[in-house]
Amino acid sequence: MPPVLTPQAQDFPRWYQEVISKARLAENGPVRGTMVIRPWGYAIWERLEAAIDRRIKATGARNAYFPLLIPEAFLRREAEHVEGFSPELAVVTHGGGKTLEEPAVVRPTSETIVNSSFARWISSYRDLPLLINQWANVVRWELRPRLFIRTSEFLWQEGHTAHATRAEAHSYALKILEAVYADAMTEELAIPVFRGRKTEAEKFAGAEISWSCEGVMRDGKALQMGTSHELGQNFARAFGIRFSDRDGQLRHVWQTSWGVSTRLLGAMIMVHGDDQGLRVPPRLAPTQVIVLTARAGEGVLKAAKTLIDDLSRVGVRAEPDDRLDISLGRRIVDHELRGVPLRIELGPRELAGGQAVLARRVRNSKETFALRGLAEQVPHILDEDQRELLEQATALRDRRVWRAETLTDAIEIATDGFARVPWRACGPGAEDRMAGAGISVRCLVREDGKPVDDPGDDAVEALLARAY
RNA sequence: CGGGGAGUGGCGCAGUCUGGUAGCGCACCCGGCUGGGGGCCGGGCGGUCGCAGGUUCAAAUCCUGUCUCCCCGACCA
């Protein structure tokens, strides 16, 4: 595997600098391991964010913003939740020049502060379902931050909902997993994902059931790309979120929470990146076509401008590169490193023949096209490349997944990929054994593809892998 | 907290074992050439070798102490 694909500190490729940079802990610096997304990376994120946001809103959810600081006592209300998060909290002890009577934590996630509001907002079944989402940065003081994948501060989307029944909460949690997360990952990021249920050991602190999307990186390791939790009535009881039902009974709400983060950018890099740099899916690329003028000349600049206008007219995001003071090779490499999907080269030579060279980043190919009518073909080429990226990623994934019948075989396989093994065959204590080998159950799935209602069912399989 | 490794011009590194004029690549500056895949030639600027102490005629190099950073593991979107 090309080492360049894994964002290890020792092999930061140059293109990494274009997407993200790591802010170091310094006197004037921010939190250790905080991500700073640079303009090109941010523009990619912005498109991804918009794509996810659209899908979230289509489920009926609305955006809101909640406070950054959470009274410590809120965290303590849900026993498992506080236990899960305590070690990684950043705590504010001073404010206004004085020691605070009660410390406040910087949100690691917002269940507690959101639910303290929900308790006041909900009183009737008519208030349900309440579907709220927020885009926010959160802080988790991880022992060991990892670039892209686990930074101390990260930007994400967290959804919080309240429903009248368990069944409603259940189906909503799955709708988010499927119609929002899996769909955006497949269609926008061009990354295929496994959807499944977390084991008791792996589920979210405070949840009854956690569902997740698991991606397979180029090196065979797993990345949890998104989670959707069924919180049952745990937080409802802790925060007193009750409603009068149709029958006049006072009941606790059933809740969900779910999130995806800038980690998705890490997934994009680790799945699609190659030794030439990043490859950005056309749908997410801030610039889809770079029109590169090879040499100066009266006709050339004009032809480039015309082409860009034509491309814009058919809905393609195109930009010129006419920096003739920089060598051609340098300019080409710049765009390759950033993963701009298409590069069209124009020079006197092409112009004389009424042609242009089209270089496709996804398949690393180069062909000559007639200039006339080229713009109209570009949208189709971009669609094709988007599809091809997904196909490549799917093939890559499928090569990494193997079936096993016993836990021993599965552990062997999972040291270098994914093992799919009957969960029942693993038996009690299986997860401890895996942990010894650096492996974990990424999620539980069913052979028939349906969600896992009962982990004890014969049809349930476990997906084992090493994880980021 | 456990196990490794590294601190040398702006960045990346060699030199340390075996003490003897601090070097290389990139970047930067100047001049010229070149311009269809990270340009070439020549000239230049820039470092009290993490810090403190010690040994020695002489320390980046040996000794003692100390600080910092990175990697692997444990925690995790």
pLDDT, tens digit, for every residue of A261-275?
999 998 998 899 887
pLDDT confidence of residue A190: 98
pLDDT confidence of residue A9: 36
Closest nucleotide relative to residue A351's CA, C1' based: B36
Output A141 or A125, whichever has higher pLDDT. Answer: A125
CB of A339 lies under 7 Å from some atom of strand B: no
Phi, psi of A211 (to 5 degrees): -110, 150
Q: Sign (positive/negative) of CA torsion A240, A241, A244, A245?
A: negative
Q: d(Cα A225, Cα A216) in Å, to the nearest integer? A: 10
Residue A249 CA to nucleotide B23 C1', Å? Answer: 83
Residues 217-276 of A with CB under 7 A from strand B: 224-227, 259-263, 276
Which band of pLDDT confidence, cut at 50, 70 and 90, is reported for residue A341?
A: very high
Q: Which amino acid is at A74?
A: F
Which band of pLDDT confidence, cut at 50, 70 and 90, is reported for residue A318?
A: very high
Query: Residue A209 has which token pair?
Result: 């059931």
Residue A456 CA to nucleotide B72 C1', Å? Answer: 36
pLDDT in tens, A26-46: 333 445 666 677 788 889 999
Q: Please compute the mean of the pLDDT values over residues A169-180 and round it to a whole number.
A: 98
Nearest-CA neighbor of A231 among A254, A250, A251, A202? A254
CB of A200 lies under 7 Å from some atom of strand B: no
pLDDT in tens, A58-80: 999 999 999 999 999 999 999 99
Global confidence as pTM: 0.93
Which band of pLDDT confidence, cut at 50, 70 and 90, is reported for residue A394?
A: very high
CB atoms within 10 A of CB A282: 27
Q: d(Cα A98, Cα A8) in Å, to the nearest integer? A: 41
ipTM of model = 0.84
Does residue A452 carry a pLDDT above 90? yes
Element containing residue A426 per DSSP (H, E): helix A423-426
A204-218, A339-353, A424-438: the lowest-pLDDT one: A424-438
Q: Please compute the mean of the pLDDT values over residues A345-368 and round it to a whole number.
A: 95
CB of A130 lies under 7 Å from some atom of strand B: no
Residue A293 CA to nucleotide B36 C1', Å? Answer: 10
CB of A327 lies under 7 Å from some atom of strand B: yes
CB of A157 lies under 7 Å from some atom of strand B: no
CA A113 centroid distance within chain? 24
Residue at minimal CA–C1' distance from B38?
A: A330
How much of chain A, in percent, has pLDDT values that exceed 90? Answer: 76
Residue A22 CA to nucleotide B27 C1', Å? Answer: 21
Question: DSSP assignment, residue A139?
Answer: E
Partners of A437 in the β-ladder: none
Angle at A175 between CA A173 and CA A176, to 5 degrees: 65
pLDDT confidence of residue A81: 92
Q: d(Cα A352, Cα A108) in Å, to the nearest integer? A: 60
Does residue A17 carry a pLDDT above 80? no
Element containing residue A422 per DSSP (H, E): strand A418-422
pLDDT in tens, A290-303: 999 998 777 899 99
Question: DSSP assignment, residue A306?
Answer: H
Nearest-CA neighbor of A263 among A331, A214, A199, A323? A214
Nearest-CA neighbor of A183 among A56, A90, A83, A368? A56
Residue at minimal CA–C1' distance from B35?
A: A327
CB of A41 lies under 7 Å from some atom of strand B: no
User: Is residue A396 exposed (0-12), middle (13-18) or buried (19+ Cβ within 10 Å)?
Assistant: middle
Residue A316 CA to nucleotide B10 C1', Å? Answer: 40
Residue A9 CA to nucleotide B20 C1', Å? Answer: 38
Q: Where are the alpha helices (DSSP H) in A290-373?
A: 298-313, 328-338, 348-353
pLDDT confidence of residue A27: 31
Instruction: Report, in ranges, which bases of strand B sit under 7 Å from a protein C-beta.
Output: 1, 35-39, 69-77
Output A304 or A275, whichever has higher pLDDT. Answer: A304
Residues 271-310 of A with CB under 7 A from strand B: 276, 294-295
CA distances for A78 relative to A107, A140, A239, angstroms: 15, 18, 8
Output A164 or A294, whichever has higher pLDDT. Answer: A164
Q: d(Cα A214, Cα A354) in Å, to the nearest integer? A: 48
Report chain A's mean pLDDT, rounded to a whole number: 90
Does residue A462 carry a pLDDT above 60? yes
CB atoms within 10 A of CB A178: 15
Element containing residue A367 per DSSP (H, E): strand A365-370
Residue A26 CA to nucleotide B64 C1', Å? Answer: 30
pLDDT confidence of residue A21: 61
pLDDT in tens, A84-139: 998 889 899 999 999 999 999 999 999 999 999 999 999 999 999 999 999 999 99
pLDDT in tens, A373-389: 999 999 999 999 999 99
CB of A363 lies under 7 Å from some atom of strand B: no
Q: d(Cα A57, Cα A75) in Å, to the nearest integer? A: 28
Omega prior to A129 cis, within 30 of 0: yes
Q: d(Cα A14, Cα A295) in Å, to the nearest integer? A: 26
Task: Provide the total of helices (H) and of strands (E) in chain A, helices listed first.
Answer: 16, 23
Closest nucleotide relative to residue A300's CA, C1' based: B36
Question: DSSP assignment, residue A402?
Answer: E
What is the rounded (10 degree) CA torsion for A304, A306, A309, A310?
A: -110
Closest nucleotide relative to residue A202's CA, C1' based: B76
Query: Residue A396 has which token pair?
Result: 């890559």
